[in-house]
Amino acid sequence: MVAPVLDRFDPRLDPMPPPVDRRTLIARLERVLPREALIHKTEGMRVFETDGLAAYRGMPAVVALPANVAEVRAVLKVCRELGAPVVARGAGTGLSGGALPTPGCVLLGLSRMSAILEIDAAAGLARVQPGVRNLAISEAVRPLGLFYAPDPSSQLACSLGGNVAENAGGVHCLKYGLTVNNVQGLEIVTLDGEVLRLGGETLEAPGFDLMALITGSEGLLAIVTEITVRLTPLPEATQVLLAAFPETRAAGQAVADIIAAGLIPAGLEMMDRLALTAAEAHTGAGYPLDAAAILLCELDGAPEDIGADLERVRTICEAAGASLARIARDEAERERFWAGRKGAFPAMGRMAPDYYCIDGVIPRRALPEVLDAITRLSDQFGLAVANVFHAGDGNLHPLILYDAQAPGELDRAEALGGAILELCVAKGGAITGEHGVGREKINQMCAQFTPEELETFAALKRAFDPEGLLNPGKTIPTPQRCVAHGAMHVHAASPPFPHLDRF
């Protein structure tokens, strides 16, 4: 049995705010924003109809592009008075449909707020606007011997506001943490126009930890207008080891053994044969094409320490069955190894017209058996799956290959993705590690949480947004949707999903 694929926005399952007269909405916004900050012609709004997920599309009523906090407040005031939904958007690189326009919404683009406001090298902090690119921070502070640690694969383009909304990670999150671990302060604007400052220049602040609450809240609670990030000293030395394995399961076992040995790599990434073959053709990274899977293990710190630890990693990989385990010869080869990993997603275009990227988390101990189960699910659904993921912290990124032009293939890809996420939950994991829930995983929220837990989430949203205008129809499913999906809370002893019984 396959869990049903549901409509993107179904009025029976996803109640939306009442429609607002579009001409009235545009006229009101024209009073508070300059002409160039509003887009309301269809051809101009096409750019904003989807995000990095691409399979989901929608058209906003109007796109608003404020340049400062005062304009953000003015837009929110208009939307609140008219009852118009608001969807915040950064660079649009998100992979869960979080920035997908909802019916009749004002899409609030923050790309014009893109200034690095302050760099305090002594305190190890930078204060930036939400439209600043992730990589731009590290580029700005590198001459000072610093960098910003979270590094999603899209870091060349993705924005800090979007990173905060989704609590983004990256290949180095195993050692340095996710966005929530590297943000020290936020400025937010609530729907009623109040400007709040959370956190600040000190590590601790009195009261509830609202900063951690906003980080990862996917635009459901407030609009982020300023971010204070922690900067990390550049390591003295960095080296990476590439290990190749004749079996995917052996690579998964090596990951568990490395962590069990007490080693904390800066990055520990894994790719299976399909993924590494595509990445090698795309970037010429130097990957061995006869391997079933490879690991990239990067250590940084004092040269004498990482040399000894890399030898320990090499020994562990060889004991797990590695056919090859070698350290990058120089900095250029190290960069090629990582270029292949970070280019793995776009490289999938060589394998199929479309791919669907899943984001789930499992306990590291379950990695070998989950990889085997994904292979069986791939066979069951008749769609190839390439595995690329942050192996060190159990964050999986299966890439489901399909053809959107072939009738039924997108639905089949979605159903396979849902089955993989439900498998993660059944094994004690979670449905997202860094991409967020958005629209993509809203059905699987019904599998992850009980009705009582979901109501707690909904009550929290009502506390910030009583009228439900901020990013409606995302992340928190209605009880009707959970019933329609046929999902319920997964208890460890008895997963309720018939298609997972054999796993």
CATH no. for residue 99? 3.30.43.10
Q: Say whether both 157 and 199 belong to one domain.
A: yes
Q: Say whether both 143 and 195 belong to one domain.
A: yes
User: How confident is the model over 328-383, as pLDDT tens digits?
Assistant: 999 999 999 999 998 998 899 889 999 999 999 999 889 888 989 999 999 999 99
- How many angstroms separate the CA atoms of 460 and 447, rounded? 20
Q: Say whether both 443 and 416 belong to one domain.
A: yes
Q: Say whether both 278 and 222 belong to one domain.
A: no
- Is residue 151, in this structure, part of any structural domain at all? yes
Q: Say whether both 141 and 249 belong to one domain.
A: no
- How many angstroms separate the CA atoms of 128 and 134, rounded? 10
Q: Say whether both 493 and 418 belong to one domain.
A: yes
For 206-231, b/e burial (b = at least 16 CB within 10 A) is eeeebbbebbbbbbbbbbbbbbbbbb
Q: Say whether both 98 and 167 belong to one domain.
A: no
Residue 186: predicted pLDDT: 97
CATH number at residue 122: 3.30.465.10
- Is residue 17, in this structure, part of any structural domain at all? no
- How many angstroms separate the CA atoms of 283 and 227, rounded? 34
Q: Is 30 exposed, middle or buried (0-12, 13-18, 19+ CB in 10 A)?
A: middle
Q: Say whether both 333 and 281 belong to one domain.
A: yes
Q: 273 is in which domain, residue-wise?
A: 237-341
- Is residue 204, in this structure, part of any structural domain at all? yes
What domain count does the chain have?
Answer: 4
Query: Beta strands 267-272 and 385-389: pairing type?
Result: antiparallel
User: How confident is the model over 200-249, as pLDDT tens digits?
Assistant: 877 777 778 899 999 999 999 999 999 999 999 999 999 999 999 999 98
- Is residue 8, in this structure, part of any structural domain at all? no
Last residue of a domain, one of 233, 265, 282: 233
Q: Is 312 exposed, middle or buried (0-12, 13-18, 19+ CB in 10 A)?
A: middle
Q: Say whether both 493 and 362 belong to one domain.
A: yes
Q: Say whether both 225 and 135 belong to one domain.
A: yes
User: How confident is the model over 131-180, as pLDDT tens digits?
Assistant: 999 999 999 999 999 999 999 989 999 999 999 999 999 999 999 999 99
Last residue of a domain, one of 341, 360, 394: 341
Q: Say whether both 357 and 328 belong to one domain.
A: no
Last residue of a domain, one of 109, 125, 157: 109
Q: Say whether both 126 and 42 belong to one domain.
A: no
- Is residue 10, in this structure, part of any structural domain at all? no
Q: Where residue 3 falls among pLDDT bands split at 50, 70, 90?
A: very low
Question: What's the pTM value of the predicted model, to 2 decimals?
Answer: 0.92
